Amino acid sequence: MKVDLLIQDVQVFNSYFKKFIKGNVAVLDGRFFYIGERNTETFEAAEIVDGQGRYMIPGLVDIHLHIESTMVTPETFSYGLIQNGVTTIVPEPHEMANVFGIEGIKEMIRASRDCVVDMLYAIPSSVPATSMETTGGSVEIADMDELLRSEEIICLGEIMNYVDIIKDPDCKTNRILEHIRKTYPKLVIEGHVPKLLDLDLHRVIYAGVDSDHTHQTREGMEARIAAGMFLEIQEKSMTDEVMDYLIKEDVSEHFCFVTDDVMTDSLVNRGHLNHIVKKAIQMGMQPERAIYASTFTPARRMNMTDRGAIAPGKIADFLLLSDLHELKIERVYKNGKKAYDAREEYRQVVKEKQFPAHFYESIKLSPLTEQDFHVAVDVPDNRYPCRVMLVQNGSTFTEDHRGIAEVREGKLLWEESPYGLIAVFERYGKNGNRGYGLISGDTIKRGAVATSYSHDNHNLLVVGHNPHDMMVAANEVIRNQGGFYVVEDGKVIASLHLPVGGILTEEPLEKTAKEVEQLRRAMESLGYNHYNPIMSISTHSLPVSPALKLTDLGLIDVNEGKIVPLLLM
């Protein structure tokens, strides 16, 4: 009996029993053909691999992530993923969609077609995430219909504007949900519902949103599972409380592990979904259950019945591990062919100009001056209560803090206050909007940081403690058509060039990882005290992430879903 590949003497993970069974595995035409104890003389194999008792598990499946969070192209991302055993992902390109609309989505899909890793896309459902920001593009119902006709789409990406679902029956988000449920009743709908409980949670589920990947608590998990919701656990939710619940309770069918956002240096130095699986094991979860939650349940959630398990007819994506508890990967196979071997040199082939020319000319802003960081307010001279965005280590959420700010001669004296200034400038050439706020907490204490990588609108975001440094940082972003720039005493001390839409680089993965690490250290040297300062600052403009954020339209009370004033009169 002829087969393409025969792997002898391996401990095969059986997803249906959630246990390892010793045997041999035959692969034919890129799919598993036989798994069992039958004598290998039964098969005439083109290639034979001696498993030497190694553990064989399915390729890892990550169903919720954003390639743009790693700030590299799909091909570069694939190069990093395959080394970490991830063979299938469901990316949602809502960052690129916020910059370029449906064209951005199509170009990301096009750039993914020749990748080793399978990339089955989610349609960004919330572009823009709210009506309280200006974006370069939008995704409307007609765009969704076009994508579902012309592209390989596997789900509707995370519904982010949960406030409007609850409060505004006629909002765009509810119209999208109604259309999808009516026209594409089998399409999976993903969700983003932080902190919701009881009636509000049930209203969102009733609208069609039946998963959540945001920061979890034990109470929140129980409420979601009880209501039929599927949980996607990312690393920031892996607290002792959450893991204790997942380990002790019989909820294997109701959750999976996902990464959501992984910075480039973390991908190179720690890994990807494999890092989360390894961490789960180290926190006490049985390896079999951690593997199940990163292969079988995510595949089943997305109706990918052709993968996520080692069984006849399934796509032959698999890993060979030398150490189960450490999840030490020796080889990765994709469609039955070796894609990565830890013993062999693995080099990235770098491609340039993978996107249309105008993707490299997306920032339509003239150079700024120090005057642009003077905040004019039309109120009498006095000291006023004010809102302050309070940054907190451990979360990308911020607090709506109360402080005191002085106004003199129509100007906010923010430099004389204990706070820094945060500013957002609309960068698409649409309206010239700008928003200002005060910031404190675990953020920088001096200098300035500017970036075009600011979720989800990706307008120019600047945080700083003096107008000169803020001007220098902002103008570096404008001059270079995108990036991250950290400035102290008028000098750039770290930078990351992001020329593709102001959010991606085409540089090699390892080079980008080093620059990201230098960027992180530079921000920390200015006093940023956060487990991920880059992700923290880039979400200061995300008006669906509690509690106080800033867009080009002004300060946003996220929980109330409205624009609020800086000064409290």
pLDDT at position 394: 86
Residues 1-52 pLDDT 10s:
899 999 999 999 999 999 999 999 999 999 999 999 987 788 999 999 999 9
168: domain CATH number is: 3.20.20.140
Q: Report CA Rg, the chain.
A: 24
pLDDT at position 57: 98
Domain total of the chain? 2
What DSSP element (H or E) covers 536? helix 533-538
What's the length of the chain? Answer: 569
pLDDT at position 488: 98
Answer with the one of 349, 367, 390 that is the final residue of a domain: 349
pLDDT at position 41: 83
**Cα distances (Å, whole numbers) of residue 92 to 147, 155, 401, 453, 536:** 13, 9, 33, 16, 20
Domain membership of residue 447 (yes or no) is: yes
Neighbours of 379 (CB within 10 A): 11
Answer with the one of 303, 325, 349 that is the final residue of a domain: 349
Q: Burial, 547: exposed, middle or buried (Cβ in 10 Å; 0-12, 13-18, 19+)?
A: middle
Do 254 and 381 fall within a single domain?
no
Domain membership of residue 30 (yes or no) is: no
Domain membership of residue 494 (yes or no) is: yes
pLDDT at position 184: 97
Do 362 and 337 fall within a single domain?
no
Residues 311-362 pLDDT 10s:
999 999 999 999 999 999 999 999 999 999 999 998 888 888 999 999 999 9
**In this structure, is the dihedral angle defined by the CA atoms of residues 554, 560, 566 and 567, taken in order, positive or negative?**
positive
What DSSP element (H or E) covers 25? strand 19-28
pLDDT at position 111: 97
SS3 at position 150: helix
Do 535 and 443 fall within a single domain?
yes
Can you read off the two tokens belonging to residue 465? 């403690």
Do 111 and 243 fall within a single domain?
yes
Do 372 and 311 fall within a single domain?
no
Residue range(s) defining the domain that contains residue 452: 358-563
Cα-Cα-Cα-Cα torsion 126, 132, 138, 144, nearest 10 degrees, comes to: 30
pLDDT at position 544: 87
Answer with the one of 307, 325, 349 that is the final residue of a domain: 349
E strands of 52-102, at which residues?
A: 55-58, 60-65, 86-91
> Which residues of the chain have a pLDDT value below 70?
none
